[in-house]
Amino acid sequence: MRCYRSRWVITVLFASAIIAGMVIAAEAKTFAYLFSGDGKVLTLDTDTDTITATRPLPSIGPFMQIAGNIVASLADNLLLIVEGSRQFGIRAFDFRSLRYRGDLGLGTTHLPDVLVPPTGPHFFVKWADPSAGDAEVVTRFDKATLKNLGNLPQVPGFLGPREDRKLAFSPDGARLYAYHGDPPLRVEAYDSRTMKLTETYDAAPLIAPGVLGAGVDDIQADRALVGENSAQKYGDPPLLSFFTLSLRDQISTPRITTGLYGQKYLTPGGDKILFNEARWGGLGGQNVGRLHVYSVATGTKLGQVNYPVYGEGVLAGIRPQGDKAYYYHAARTPDQRTLTSLSLNTFAVIKEITSWMVDVMIFFDQP
């Protein structure tokens, strides 16, 4: 549903979704890496919302800081970053230490896709191979050694243009879900080790009659968030409603009707829906954000967080525990950026964190 869903939001949250399924130790502290396009990594203590460290990434130049270009597998201590602008490469780092491990050796003029299943020994890269006339191939790599293990027999069908599809892994890492924000309202499940199609789910029969448009907006914890636009005609402001569909048992949850316009997300545990109604009206406009929080199980509204907005922004991440969300936007002064921490339990602004231009968050825990 491109009429009301930002492609930027989709890509930004993809990095968080990869990590969100990890089991978090009871006594561990939760941190997040914040990536800056000038090659720096900030470490955020998300328990106290304090930046505790700033480190440069060794052996790397400027890179585009969008999720999908920055991918991690915490269980394998692996961080992969797509570097370049006209000529692209992929560099590997130890996740914990940020020590440089090496370059994958895939020089290409087309932006590659990196897929790292949270379980299993391999990861995959779709890229245009210059030795084959820039033909698109999907190459499998060993996570531990970074060794090139050869190409898949064919490019999986879901690896089309980035703007036309979204991806999410199941919590156990065994399945990769591919879906679209616009019709068809279909979710495809692939075996994350072989990239072969195993199941297809269709939400179209559940769509309310007479809606102007509908799409799958998010997948977390084997649950799909489906949105509907009940505006009267194209060009009118979207009026949104949504529900979720369990991809395990095909059971849908109660429909939530807002009559508002905004972006929708599931928390990593799949138990809450966040509806972000941020508005940036420019100088003299309505500069306030409203994050509505709903229960997936009952469809009831749990609360609402009102927060100040100083410029256009994006929901940059949701803590794996589902208790905090982070909104990234311009700051009070033109040369700064702000990461605002929002409580999903007390429905209050926790803290405004001044930061550099960082809009990719990857959460992790450590003792």
| Higher per-residue pLDDT: 238 or 171 | 171
Mean pLDDT of 108-117: 89
Mean pLDDT score of the chain, rounded to an integer? 84
Categorize the per-residue pLDDT at 259 as very low, low, confident or very high, splitting at 50, 70 and 90. confident
- 342-354: pLDDT as tens digits: 999 999 999 998 7
Categorize the per-residue pLDDT at 178 as very low, low, confident or very high, splitting at 50, 70 and 90. very high
Contact 189, 183 (CB under 8 A): no
Of 67-76, 135-144, 215-224, least confident by mean pLDDT is: 67-76
- Is 5 a residue whose pLDDT tops 50? no
Percent of the chain with pLDDT over 90: 51
Mean pLDDT of 88-115: 91
Contact 148, 141 (CB under 8 A): yes
Measured CA to CA, the distance from residue 216 to residue 242 in angstroms comes to 9
Categorize the per-residue pLDDT at 107 as very low, low, confident or very high, splitting at 50, 70 and 90. confident
- Is 88 a residue whose pLDDT tops 80? yes
Of 1-5, 125-129, 254-258, least confident by mean pLDDT is: 1-5
| Higher per-residue pLDDT: 65 or 288 | 288
Superfamily of domain 7-366: YVTN repeat-like/Quinoprotein amine dehydrogenase (2.130.10.10)
State in Å, rounded, how far the first CA of the chain is from the last one: 41
Contacts of 234 (CB under 8 A, 6+ apart): 3, 212
Contact 287, 310 (CB under 8 A): yes
| CB neighbourhood size of 20 (10 A) | 28
Kindly write down the DSSP assignment for every residue of 269-293, as one continuous string.
TSSEEEEE--B---TTS--EEEEEE
Mean pLDDT of 169-188: 87
- Is 329 a residue whose pLDDT tops 70? yes
- Is 11 a residue whose pLDDT tops 70? no
Would you give the DSSP letter of residue 208? P
Give the angle subtended at the CA of 178 by the CAs of 188 and 148, to the nearest 5°.
Answer: 110
| Residue 292: both structure tokens together | 């509505």
pTM: 0.86
Mean pLDDT of 36-60: 88
- Is 283 a residue whose pLDDT tops 60? no
| Higher per-residue pLDDT: 230 or 95 | 95
- pLDDT of 181: 67
